[in-house]
A and B are shown apart, each in its own frame.
Chain A
Amino acid sequence: ETGVTQTPRHLVMGMTNKKSLKCEQHLGHNAMYWYKQSAKKPLELMFVYSLEERVENNSVPSRFSPECPNSSHLFLHLHTLQPEDSALYLCASSQEVQGGQPQHFGDGTRLSIL
């Protein structure tokens, strides 16, 4: 496989459930990102990891918990979500965080909170 792969593609969960989103990149990149894409709003940066270290937490509620076990994998652990958390969650990677490096995106996980 090449590029950035996200699983699952679709997820429906209740507000009391715990689930995890997975992202894997096969590009040899050092930086990985989580974004939230909601209708009528710009993409919102959630978290940034560089060489497995979190370098940005963009005021995201604690019900979202990221994990980066190595430079190829990124997880977003979800618990006690709210209806307004329903959105498309996009993972991206880039060679480095700095220097105008273009980001490569996965196809996203469509999350629906009941």
Chain B
Amino acid sequence: AQSVTQLDSQVPVFEEAPVELRCNYSSSVSVYLFWYVQYPNQGLQLLLKYLSGSTLVKGINGFEAEFNKSQTSFHLRKPSVHISDTAEYFCAVSDLQGGSEKLVFGKGTKLTVNP
């Protein structure tokens, strides 16, 4: 079964600085990859997804992620963050084993953007 590792549980940055949130998954077989964001007292919202094709994926709110098959990574980046980007970010992988497709989530990374 797939597993997802988000290496940083908390990432503090200053406003307008770049940020990278790291995500590694366990299997190199064909996968679908997702990043979700959760603002306080809300559910998860899709930021971007990789299904196939170009390894650089652009999402909403200026975020992008790069799929690296050899390193089994799908790191999320933004060149300049805003205060409003403060939230928890979850990496997820579709587990295609066992006859059904399930999303496996990482533990999340809390991004705090300071003025």
Residues in chain A within 8 A of chain B (CB atoms):
4, 6, 40-43, 45, 48, 55-56, 90, 92, 97-100, 102-108
Contacts and interface: CB of A to CB of B under 8 A. Distances in A.
Interface of B: 4, 32, 34, 36, 41-46, 49, 51, 90, 94, 100-108
B20 to A, nearest CB: 20
Contacts of B41: 107
Given A4-B43, A48-B100, A100 B94 contact: yes
A45 to B, nearest CB: 6
A90 B43 contact: yes
What 5 A-B pairs come out closest when comparing CB atoms? A105-B43, A100-B32, A43-B105, A105-B44, A42-B105
Contacts of B45: 105
Interface centre among B36, B45, B46, B101 (most CB of A within 10 A): B101
A12 B42 CA distance: 18
Contact of A103 (B42, B100, B103): B103
Contact of A45 (B43, B49, B102): B102
Contacts of A99: 101
Contacts of B106: 42
A98 B102 contact: no
24 contacts: A6-B43, A42-B104, A42-B105, A42-B108, A43-B103, A43-B105, A45-B102, A45-B103, A56-B100, A56-B102, A92-B44, A98-B100, A100-B49, A100-B51, A100-B94, A100-B101, A102-B34, A102-B46, A103-B44, A103-B46, A105-B44, A107-B42, A107-B43, A108-B43
